[in-house]
Amino acid sequence: MKKKLNVSGKKRMKLTPQRMAIFEYLDGNRSHPSANDVYKAVIERFPTMSFATVYNTMDMLKTKGMVLELSIDPDKKRFDPNPVPHHHLICVHCKKIVDVHRDFSLDLSEEERGDYEIIGNHVDFYGVCKTCSKKDRKEEREK
């Protein structure tokens, strides 16, 4: 049997300094960055890094299950490197996403579940963050 990383038929992940920089940026990152955010952060250290490298690396990490791709933000794909299952709270204005670590004990009835075996759930909360609500109030005053 082949080693796990080769199953997809892809080459093993080569740890180039550029990729290391991407991993380091993602490690412990809770800002749910887009590929462009990652690019902007990493290019400071590697000015020759191309966006394609970042994009392909993110895609590869996604394929390997090391980051989750979030579809919350309709403008751009966002990535979540937090491996612990969690829920999200999203600001509807600036699209800031924060993690919510709580077990809501959500359950489905047998009828709803049908022949599915449930493996998890994810809840998105929507709101307005402090920065945005302050901005809102300021704009109100200036009207």
Looking at 55, 99, 127, 135, which residue binds Zn ion (CB under 5 A)? 99
Site for Zn ion in 35-64 (CB under 5 A): none
Q: How far apart are CB 8 and Zn ion at their closest, in Å?
A: 25
Q: What angle do CA 65, 58, 48 make, to 5 degrees?
A: 155
In whole angstroms, what is the distance from residue 143 CA to residue 140 CA? 5
Q: How far apart are CA 60 and CA 13, in angstroms?
A: 8
Stretch touching Zn ion by CB under 5 A, among 3-11, 21-29, 86-94, 114-122: 86-94
Q: Which two tokens stand for residue 126?
A: 């929507």
For tokens 């887009």, what's the residue? 34
Q: What is the x/- site pattern for Zn ion, positions 104-133, by CB under 5 A? A: -------------------------x--x-
Q: Which residues bind Zn ion (CB under 5 A)?
A: 80, 82, 91, 93-94, 96, 99, 129, 132
